[in-house]
Amino acid sequence: MKMTILIVMGLSACIGFTATSLSAQEKPAQKPAPAASGEEHSHFTKIPATVEEIWKEILKQQGKLASVVAKKDLGEAHDHAFAIRDLVKALPAKVASENKAKAEAGAKEITKLASDIDKSGAAGAQKATEANVKKMDAAVVALQTSLKTK
């Protein structure tokens, strides 16, 4: 009798485990949940087709970054910093060949600053994050000036 109960329990556990595994495999991959603001919380930035549109999006992301830092919502700062980074990294492929080296140098600097914003934001360091945002703003302006686009 004890042996029968053990076998039944073992088979039940196997069936339950197999059903759970199969059920998990059948579910489609879920998209990230929307953030409270209604936007998706994602680190994938859509890159516009033209240099002018990229600059518009960079300026938009800078505004969002400044806003979340001003609200002391440092957990969201990295999203906007990385969006700016991704947008700037797309510039070298889209600018005139004589500006490619300038765009690459600017992208390298802004990539480091985005990482700095991520680290200071994750640490909850408000003043350091504000300082890093100011540095990024200055780097974006310097890049924009060097590429002579506004």
Best CA proximity match to 45, nearest among 92, 82, 91: 82
Say if residues 146 and 110 touch (Cβ distance below 8 Å).
no
Say if residues 84 and 61 touch (Cβ distance below 8 Å).
yes
Where on the phi/psi map is residue 32: left (φ > 0), alpha (ψ -120 to 50), or beta?
A: beta
pLDDT in tens, 51-100: 999 999 999 999 999 999 999 999 999 999 999 999 999 999 999 999 99
Best CA proximity match to 43, nearest among 71, 3, 85, 5: 85
Average the pLDDT over each of 45-49, 62-66, 112-116 and give the range with the smallest value.
45-49
How confident is the model at residue 1, as a pLDDT? 63
**Residue 48: which residues within 8 A CB-CB, separation 6 or more?**
54, 56, 57, 87
| Residue extents of the structural domains in the chain | 51-147
CATH of 51-147, one of 3.30.2290.10, 2.40.10.500, 1.20.120.290, 1.20.59.20: 1.20.120.290
Q: pTM for this structure?
A: 0.70
Confidence of residue 148 (pLDDT cuts 50, 70, 90): confident
Q: Is the dihedral of CA 133, 134, 139, 143 positive or negative?
A: positive
DSSP track, 38-93: SSB--SPPPPPSSHHHHHHHHHHHHHHHHHHHHTT-HHHHHHHHHHHHHHHHHGGG
